[in-house]
Amino acid sequence: MEIQIGGILGLLILIADVWAILNIVQSRVETIKKLLWIILILVVPALGFIIWWLAGPREGRAQ
């Protein structure tokens, strides 16, 4: 049972990290900032995603 829960949690973290990295790459921020955010997410996947979600660059949408 523990392996199944850990596997599902790991899969969710992987999906969230891939989504975050795609958003970072597509953003208009400077390349060095993109690189730093991606490194943070790759080094500490769950915590890096949470930090990016809370403190990452926000882009306003033009209407």
Question: What are the tens digits of pLDDT across the range 4-17?
Answer: 777 888 899 999 99
pTM for the model? 0.79
Q: What one-letter code names the amino acid at 24?
A: I
Which residue, among 60, 58, 24, 59, has the nearest Cα to 40 in the 3D structure?
A: 24
Domain count, the chain: 1
18 domain residue, yes or no: no
47 domain residue, yes or no: yes
CA–CA gap between residue 60 and residue 58 (Å, rounded): 7
CA–CA gap between residue 19 and residue 3 (Å, rounded): 24
pLDDT per position as a tens digit, 19-42: 999 999 999 999 999 999 999 999
Q: Are 53 and 20 in contact (CB under 8 A)?
A: yes
Which residue, among 58, 26, 32, 9, has the nearest Cα to 40 in the 3D structure?
A: 32
Range of the domain at 34: 28-54
